[in-house]
Structure 1
């Protein structure tokens, strides 16, 4: 695969945003703190500049924006994020929570960012340690067919001999409740239609417990994706307290549809499921933190992030090696250009995101005492495609600032500002009122591995 001529990786966009948010000392007489959080606070006590003044201030960074974009897209740093991503994933491979590979990934990034001249440290976190083990599934009635499966994170295993049971196929939680008496002693297959990831993922997350409530012995969940080439996806699932824990795995869209059609015809379906999954004691891990200290307001932070962990059945390039690399690249580019941020620019590479944002929640718990010092938080966790839009959460005044900022991104065709951001790792900050940005990208077709 050649990278020359490729549309820009989100790194230049990410770095540009954090630079503006921290107000680099690029102009000798620049003194106004261009922080979206600071702007919002100033507006509340009638000291904010008029929007026209804000627009003029931001427009004054057009030359700096061009320097950033030229370096990242056309200059010496062209494709560097891609090369770093390839080196990282080729060297380490998958990085599931609790694994030796994740430990090696953290060491790799610590050393790489230190050699890059950044101030790097590690912050300890206890993380879940779930092991997949051997797993298989086979439909044995009405005909023999191997079923491609991937056990879901935190699932319990089956007995060594597996579970052999008749199948009940449903398309929603509502249908499951309506057919509760039919589910007793059966393997429930969820063939839910894909609506959106945020909506459809509920079946992966809660399907096992909902089925257990009505007496099911296991669940097989249609992979949460609109596209499939007979490839199951994985992800984390959550057992409800006080509900019997039953094995759960994802199957392909094709197999879910097959069993649904068989069920609609009234045919009996029997499946044998074997899973060696188990949960070990929590493991020691770290959030990896790199920063460039602000020269005027070092205590104030603009945070950008991605997560280092991945699932165990791929190399974790898009989820979320790309997000980790551009979070590093942002700081690298600032150093390359000799820009000096007034505020501290901090990259955090989270651990155990796939297990529910464990590392990010730990970081928030430790640092929320200094909440007022966090001006902006950013996250990228949607792959390595072309940046398309920014999802922004913040005050109306802060949004007006961002509307001016994105105008400077026209050369890389990323001028769309969407309402309300998301992101597992930055959600605690968003809920606490810190302005947040989530980078969305074109080409997103599916989620998880």
Structure 2
């Protein structure tokens, strides 16, 4: 999740999660006819022991899935094989050329005032160091204003931005802006010596220098050393390089609508991840929850009037090319106007709370009424404002969008780190996410009237 071009979108997402708008209790839309189907979905989701096993097998077997990597393409092959054995109406892929950045070997060592290995992660898109590495004194700053004031001191040194985590969209800019930055305090509220991966970019006309993230613990330590007047010297070594683009694929699966198959409810997440951990919360869990939601409808014999489509987008983390390719394809074939709702899960599959929704007032009233059906799993709150990185391109074309909202209190503990692994998830919470997505997608797809854009 979270590419450099989407930092403002992600910041907005966190604001959406905190907005006080609640479900519209006095909605004019009566969805009581769907009470039985909703309970069927909940019961089936909570009793399905295979869904979590499937996610666990996948993440254990394939691990991280960075764009351009063999592990990403092998994981896509496996998903396709599984889907093709299932009773889905259509399974296909969409070819996408994606960036191919390779981390290589890397290390960061404190040279003075003492010798110490410092955990670090080079930032995606960064150039590498010379083979012998870069050894230099560190200048710690807390803002761009401070850097500007100390511009002369920065020359010839390694600059460390030590900025405490506030909100992701606010803090991440320190990682991504400023052409002379080379080290940043990892973007996250909690650390156990766990640096966070992420992407970087270079301003036009400025030298391309290596960029890496270090732990919050060590960023604070280096600043304390500097404040005491100690000379802080480190040695940074990175083999990072950007290779030619490689072919990847979006995965598309769907069940056809029984009455209006041309109209589409699309839901999903991104199948790529950073090259650390297993990419479970970010975002295999979101992809698989959408997949399992689609399977539930089929297994229960539910036949929505409209088509329900699942997309697992490629290359969200460092390019968003999968989402852009999908938008371009549905614009080209004219089906963009037939997309009545887009749902994304890219915030982890922790205990679900509801959805954030972006669309017309009439559509908000309708999805708020549907939200009442989610009360048995505690995910009935529908907030104003919502969406996601991968559905962002089609939302900008007028498609109403919503993002699954969950208990995000621990999400950024693990986000983009080696600790994003399956053991951090709870099976029942994951099943509740599946039920939440399945109910919203099914009911919207089966309503007598389409979700209005105005």
TM over 0.5: yes
User: Counterpart of 1:164 in 2: which secondary structure?
Assistant: strand
Aligned twin of 2:16 = none
CA deviation profile, 1:193-224 (whole Å, cap 9, x unmatched): 11111211112222xxx142xxxxx6111111
1:234, distance to aligned residue in structure 2 (A): 0.4
RMSD between aligned alpha carbons? 1.5
Is 1:381 aligned to residue 346 of structure 2? Answer: yes
Query: Does 272-281 or 138-147 show the bigger shift?
Result: 138-147
User: Counterpart of 1:227 in 2: which secondary structure?
Assistant: coil
Query: Does 181-190 or 363-372 show the bigger shift?
Result: 363-372
Does the 8 Å contact 2:95/2:249 carry over to 1? yes
1:97, distance to aligned residue in structure 2 (A): 0.8
User: Counterpart of 2:172 in 1: which secondary structure?
Assistant: helix
- Residues of 2 paired with 1:384 and 1:183: CA distance? 42
Aligned twin of 2:71 = 101
Gaps of 5+ in 1: 1-50, 213-217
Does the 8 Å contact 1:225/1:445 carry over to 2? no
Q: 1:84 aligns with which of 54, 67, 87?
A: 54
- Residues of 2 paired with 1:54 and 1:242: CA distance? 57
Aligned twin of 1:181 = 152
CA deviation profile, 1:310-356 (whole Å, cap 9, x unmatched): 12121111111101111110110000110112111110001111113
- Residues of 2 paired with 1:388 and 1:260: CA distance? 39
Does the 8 Å contact 2:271/2:287 carry over to 1? yes
User: Counterpart of 2:342 in 1: which secondary structure?
Assistant: strand
Aligned twin of 1:115 = 85
1:253, distance to aligned residue in structure 2 (A): 0.4
User: Counterpart of 1:133 in 2: which secondary structure?
Assistant: coil
1:387, distance to aligned residue in structure 2 (A): 0.7
Q: How many residues align?
A: 387
- Residues of 1 paired with 2:51 and 2:384: CA distance? 28
- Residues of 1 paired with 2:133 and 2:304: CA distance? 58
- Residues of 2 paired with 1:250 and 1:417: CA distance? 36
Does the 8 Å contact 1:176/1:211 carry over to 2? no
User: Counterpart of 1:408 in 2: which secondary structure?
Assistant: helix
Does the 8 Å contact 1:97/1:127 carry over to 2? yes
Query: Does 294-303 or 152-161 show the bigger shift?
Result: 294-303
List aligned pairs for 1:208-357, cutoff 5 A. 210-212=178-180, 219-357=182-320
Q: 2:365 aligns with which of 400, 403, 420?
A: 400
User: Counterpart of 2:299 in 1: which secondary structure?
Assistant: helix
Query: Does 174-183 or 189-198 show the bigger shift?
Result: 174-183
Does the 8 Å contact 2:316/2:389 carry over to 1? yes
Is 1:158 aligned to residue 137 of structure 2? Answer: no
| Larger Rg over CA atoms | 1
4+ residue runs over 6 A deviation: none
Does the 8 Å contact 2:137/2:233 carry over to 1? yes
1:385, distance to aligned residue in structure 2 (A): 1.0
Is 1:196 aligned to residue 170 of structure 2? Answer: no
TM-score normalized by structure 1? 0.83
User: Counterpart of 2:131 in 1: which secondary structure?
Assistant: coil
Does the 8 Å contact 1:188/1:211 carry over to 2? no
- Residues of 2 paired with 1:310 and 1:158: CA distance? 24
CA deviation profile, 1:102-155 (whole Å, cap 9, x unmatched): 111111111111111221001100000011000001111111111110111111
1:392, distance to aligned residue in structure 2 (A): 0.9
TM-score normalized by structure 2? 0.83
User: Counterpart of 1:111 in 2: which secondary structure?
Assistant: helix
1:277, distance to aligned residue in structure 2 (A): 0.4
User: Counterpart of 2:371 in 1: which secondary structure?
Assistant: helix
- Residues of 1 paired with 2:109 and 2:81: CA distance? 45
Aligned twin of 2:435 = none
- Residues of 2 paired with 1:53 and 1:358: CA distance? 38
1:53, distance to aligned residue in structure 2 (A): 8.1
Aligned twin of 2:108 = 137
Query: Does 196-205 or 248-257 show the bigger shift?
Result: 196-205
Q: 2:335 aligns with which of 356, 362, 370?
A: 370
Is 1:61 aligned to residue 48 of structure 2? Answer: no
Q: 1:444 aligns with which of 383, 405, 410?
A: 410
